[in-house]
Amino acid sequence: MNTPSTHADRIVVGIDGSDHSTHALRAAAGLASALNLRLEALTCWNRSEIYLAAQIPAGVFAEIDPREAEAARFVEDAVERVFGLERPRGLITGIRHGHPAQILVQESAKARLLVVGRRGRGGFLGLRMGSVSSAYIAHARCPVLVVSSQE
């Protein structure tokens, strides 16, 4: 029986600049290729909720936040490490403003699979899984693959 899909034909992978997210991108690319799905690599950024008076330009926030530029670099660096100059056809990269857990949970509503690394760059090194990865598992609207390492 041929029924229309209720999910977009894509795999979303979260990129945060960590080695774990690079491994997640590699795993997601293999799955996207095998399942003939589009691959979308997303990174998120957010302004600090606490600004020191010296950091605020007179009258307004800075037009280009350095965190946004850093997020763009994270996703481009991960893509380069995984694919080199040979990007997969149809690879989409994106930068979203907001907290990663909130943004990627929203994106999961339109995905077949959400792929993330088991931990990000912050937090406590002894944890098996980071708090953001745990949030995806608890709240995502599609299956979640948490990638531990390159193995």
Q: How confident is the model at residue 14, as a pLDDT?
A: 93
Q: How confident is the model at residue 1, as a pLDDT?
A: 37
Q: Which residues pair with 97 in a beta bridge?
A: 45
Q: How confident is the model at residue 42, as a pLDDT?
A: 95
Instruction: Name every residue whose Cβ is closer than 8 Å to that of residue 134 and which is 6 or more positions away in sequence.
Output: none
CA nearest to 130, candidates 111, 150, 146, 109: 146
Q: Tens digits of per-residue pLDDT, 10-46?
A: 999 999 888 888 999 999 999 999 999 999 999 988 8
Q: Tens digits of per-residue pLDDT, 46-86?
A: 865 555 555 555 555 555 677 888 888 989 999 999 999 89
Residue ranges per domain, the chain? 10-46+61-107+115-147
Q: Tens digits of per-residue pLDDT, 132-147?
A: 777 788 888 999 999 8
CA nearest to 136, candidates 100, 82, 83, 84: 100
Instruction: Name every residue whose Cβ is closer than 8 Å to that of residue 101 and which is 6 or more positions away in sequence.
Output: 132, 135, 136, 139
Q: How far apart are CA 9 and CA 67, in angstroms?
A: 30
pTM of the model: 0.79
* Whether residue 4 has pLDDT greater than 80: no
Pick the CATH number of 10-46+61-107+115-147 from 3.40.50.970, 3.40.50.300, 3.65.10.10, 3.40.50.620: 3.40.50.620
